[in-house]
Copies of this chain bind each other. A is one copy, B any other.
Amino acid sequence: MANLTIKDIAKLCGVGTSTVSRAMNDDPGINSETKERILKVVKEFHYVPNNSARNLKVSETNTVGVLVKGRNNSFFQGMYTFIEQELQKIGYDFILKEISYDDNNTMQAVEMVKEQRLKGMIFLGGMIEDLDKIRQHIDIPYVFCTVAVDYNATDCNLVAIDDEKESYRIVDYLIKNGHRKIAIIAGQKGDFAVGRLRLKGYKLALEANGIEYNPGLVAYQRDDLPDYSSANGYAVMKDLLASGEEFTAVFAVSDLTAFGAYKAIYDAGKKIPDDYSVVGFDGIEMTKYMYPALTSVRQPVEEMIMCAVELLAKAINGEDTGRQIFFAGELLEQDSVKDITH
Contact = CB atoms under 8 A, between A and B. Distances in A.
A46 B291 contact: no
16 contacts: A1-B136, A3-B139, A48-B115, A50-B115, A51-B114, A52-B53, A52-B56, A52-B115, A71-B80, A72-B78, A78-B226, A231-B285, A262-B289, A263-B288, A263-B290, A263-B293
Contacts of A289: 230-231, 234, 259-260, 262-263
A70 to B, nearest CB: 11
Nearest to A234: B289
A330 interface: no
Interface string A261-296: 011001000000000000000000110111101000
A46 to B, nearest CB: 5
A268 to B, nearest CB: 12
Nearest to A106: B46
Nearest to A57: B52
Contact of A51 (B53, B72, B111, B139): B111
Contacts of A34: none
B46 A50 contact: no
A51 B115 contact: yes
Nearest to A77: B72
A55 interface: yes
Nearest to A264: B289
Contacts of A259: 286, 289
Interface residues of A, number: 46
Contacts of A50: 56, 114-115
B48 A110 contact: yes
Contact of A291 (B111, B136, B263): B263
A11 interface: no
A80 B230 CA distance: 19
B96 A98 contact: yes
Given A53-B56, A115-B51, A262-B289, A139 B80 contact: no
Interface string A122-143: 0000000000010011010000
Q: Shortest 8 CB-CB distances between A and B: which pairs?
A: A52-B55, A51-B115, A52-B52, A1-B139, A263-B289, A48-B114, A52-B56, A72-B77
A133 B290 CA distance: 43
A81 interface: yes
A100 interface: yes
A46 B1 contact: no
A81 B71 contact: yes
A291 B291 CA distance: 8
Contacts of A3: 114, 139
Contact of A136 (B46, B56, B263): B46
Nearest to A95: B97
A99 to B, nearest CB: 10
A100 B226 CA distance: 26
Nearest to A107: B48
A78 to B, nearest CB: 6
Interface string A1-25: 1110000000000000000000000
